[in-house]
Amino acid sequence: MMNEKTINEQYAYIRTLLEEKRLKEALMQLESLLWQCPDWDLRTRLEQLQTSYKYMLEYMKQGANDPERWNLYQKLVADTWSIADQSRLLMLDNASSKYYHEVRRTPEPADLAEYGLKKILHILESFNDDLAVSGLLSDAKMDEVLQRHENTLKFMFVRTWTNSSWTSEDEEDAKSMLGSELLLPDDLCLFVSALTLSLMECFDLRKIMWLLNAYEHPNVCWMLTVIKMSMSANGHWLVSYSSSTFTEPGFFITQNLSRGSTLWTKFLLSGKMLPVSTAKCCYVRKRRRLIRR
């Protein structure tokens, strides 16, 4: 089995070949990398890609005039990038000790395996109504609703962050989140954060297109004023998160993170990333208790 360093070095070499437009050599190196990969679908995709490339070269030798040749070549390069990205990720799941890969290789509970974005959206949309009803019953019921909401957000974040490739169904469900009038803005912002971090691990065209559409969403634009991420000259992520929703003055946190660091990830999953909507409810509940006294 290849170790993490070897996997990354071979992937970096494939990437260099693609950047230098040496597609044939990149395909040979990718074939070598896939010998260690357990995903047969990727091997099948590579074989189909190699066949298409072979036919394209044969037609070129015969002098055939193909106006779509350039488009075909660009698609072959894009597919090679995609297979290389997915292969690297799957192999690192078995070799890397980084937190991201530890989460990916941890089996999901059986009762949560069938929870997709559509089911998650339904639960999050019902939060306000559930909270209003529980507030009329008891503090225990309210605590139960708040806990369920927080657990759903954590599950949504981890599921989105560790998903390396959306299906067409995932894309449609994600579009429903943008169009929902019941989803809390803070919940949508957390989803965008998880999606952005997912793209930092592995490129996915469907996610990129979703983010481009989300850019015009008013709640997402608000989020961009709250969370700022930039790359400094020394290769560190500069991350700032601020909030002044219900505390005066608001807290401000800044982290300097290396590319391979998991501090930002752990920060997002920690209590400090408690959704503002949930924090508001906790604050209101405490105020109610004080008033009752």
Residues 225 and 276 in one domain: yes
Domains held by the chain: number: 2
Mean pLDDT, the chain, whole residue set: 77
Residue 42 counted as domain residue: yes
pLDDT tens digits, one per residue of 220-260: 654 443 444 433 333 333 333 333 332 222 333 333 333 33
CA distance 95 to 151: 29
**Same-domain pairing of 14 and 156:** no
Worst-scoring range by mean pLDDT, 71-75, 100-104, 124-128, 236-240? 236-240
User: For residue 57, is it within any domain?
Assistant: yes
Residues 74 and 124 in one domain: no
Which residues are CB-neighbours of 219 under 8 A, at least 6 positions away?
A: 185, 188, 189
Which residues are CB-neighbours of 130 under 8 A, at least 6 positions away? Answer: 145, 148
List the beta bridge partners of residue 228: 240
Which position has the higher pLDDT, 110 or 183?
183
- Residue 51: pLDDT band with limits 50, 70, 90: very high
pLDDT of 46: 93
Same domain (yes/no): 138, 242: yes
CA 153 centroid distance within chain: 14
Domain boundary (96, 120, 141) is at 96
Does residue 194 share a domain with residue 63?
Answer: no
pTM of the predicted model, to two decimals? 0.71
Q: How does pLDDT run across 116-131, given as a tens digit for each residue?
A: 899 999 999 999 999 9
The pLDDT-based confidence of 168 (bands split at 50, 70, 90) is very high
Whether 158 and 91 share a structural domain: no
Domain boundary among 72, 96, 120: 96
Can you give the residue range of the structural domain that contains 86? 4-96
